Amino acid sequence: MKPVYLDYAATTPVDARVLKAMLPYFCEQYGNPSSLYSFGREARQAVGQARRQLASLLGAEPDEIFFTSGGSESDNWVIRSLSEEALRHGGGHIITTKVEHHAVLRACEALPSGIEVTYLDVDSEGRVQPEAVESSLRPDTFLVSVMAANNEVGTIEPIAEIGAICRAHGVFFHTDAVQAVGHIPVSVKEWQVDALSLSGHKLYGPKGIGALYLRRGHKLAPFIHGGEQERGLRAGTENTAGIVGLGEAAAIAAAELAEESARLQGLRDHLFEKLLEIPGVQGNGPREGRLPGNLNLAIDGVDHETLLIRLDLMGFAVSAGSACSAGSLEPSHVLTAMGQAPARAATAIRVTLGRFTTEEEIEAFSQALCQAVHDIRRQAV
């Protein structure tokens, strides 16, 4: 059997339809979108079409989309640009959460003095309380940043409620929606967000391309200075093929999201029921209000590193948490924020299903996991 990939939250393969749309932009329509002749015009039109496709998936306007290199850049751009602006007026206050991706957490930690950051707690399922956002607002709060869905435990956050609170108080609201876009319905209007980060490689597009949605009327300082690309806010010759790929990925997601998320949820729930039969297995995160392909398990007495290596040898790729913190000896900051002891957090594995996951793969995985857990426990006695 071919190795089975069950780490779609870390990254997704490029969909063959996406690759097909991208290919002409490498060797045939390779013009610089800023050039005036036909090569440039073709590339410019392709970038424009991708902008419309992506805007449509988010319920946004095309001129509210700015292409970036990915989720990390989009997160950093918002946090740094708004902080610089606040510092020009004497500093200020940011509200975020303890379960954000490191692209948000580390960007906040790196801010100069003069910017204070409140990191909100979450409940035992990883959910942020909208009331906690409201009660933490201060007169000098200039940014609230709460992720739309968690990359480790899949918890979907109450973004529309938080958006309504921020809008009512006139505070800029950003969401890192890298794990949400293409997987659950996203509407920037219903969510009342001012900015939203997304990444191509989480929705079957290529790596190294992403976007920031920025609501009309807002202006950020440029993140990269140089040419006039992206209306002067993000300089550098456009990654035309990547942008085309992201646009195509967005169009496919829009067309297939409802059916595919129901299929994945069914597969995921079936897998969970089977794995619960293994003694000492529990779920981390909520049962409802969770990303359709996400499963996170605590396996009593089984160190996750040992388990992952064994599963890898058996031909199954799953992760211990987020891909970005793989190799780190620290327990997951998400699970500890959810109130778990480090010893339990050290047993967590994340299994994430996606577009190419089949029933056969799920059956084979549940047998392999059962066997691996059994073997590790037997060796431990």
Active site residue 166: no
Instruction: Kindly tell me which residue out of 145, 155, 199, 347 binds ligand PLP, with binding defined by CB under 6 A.
Output: 199
Residue 329, C-beta contacts closer than 8 angstroms, at least 6 positions apart: none
Q: Which is nearer to ligand PLP, 154 or 163 (CB)?
A: 154
At position 296, the amino acid (one-letter code) is N
Q: For the chain, state the CA radius of gyration.
A: 21
337, two tokens: 């924020």
Contact assessment for residue 194 and residue 164, using Cβ atoms and an 8 Å cutoff: no
Options 111-119, 239-247, 261-269, 320-328: segment touching ligand PLP (CB under 6 A): 320-328
Round to the nearest angstrom and report the end-to-end CA distance of the chain: 31
Q: How many CA atoms lie within 13 A of 371 on its CB side?
A: 11
Please tell me whether residue 151 binds ligand PLP under the rule CB under 6 A.
yes
147 forms part of the interface with ligand PLP (CB under 6 A): yes
Q: Tell which one of 33, 70, 154, 285 touches ligand PLP (CB under 6 A).
A: 70
**Residue 176 touches ligand PLP, criterion: CB under 6 A:** yes
Minimum distance from residue 151 beta carbon to ligand PLP (Å): 3
325 forms part of the interface with ligand PLP (CB under 6 A): no
Tokens 């200020």 -> residue: 92
**Nearer residue to ligand PLP within complex by CB, 100 or 260:** 100
Q: How far is CA 150 from the centre of its chain?
A: 7
**Cβ 101 to ligand PLP shortest distance, Å:** 3
Catalytic choice (27, 108, 324, 370): 324
Task: For the CB of residue 324, give the shortest distance to ligand PLP in the complex, in Å.
Answer: 6
Interaction between residue 196 and ligand PLP (CB under 6 A): no
Residue 239 three-state SS: coil
Per-position x/- string for 90-109, each x denoting binding to ligand PLP as judged by CB under 6 A, each - no binding: -----------x-x------
To ligand PLP, the closest distance from the beta carbon of 91 in angstroms equals: 26
Q: Tell me if 186 sits within 8 A of 197, measured CB to CB.
A: no
The span from the CA of 235 to the CA of 220, in Å, is 13
Region at 315 (left for phi over 0; alpha for psi -120 to 50; beta for the rest): left
- By annotation, the residues acting in catalysis are 324
Binding region for ligand PLP (CB under 6 A)? 70-72, 101, 103, 147, 151, 176, 178-179, 199, 210, 322-324
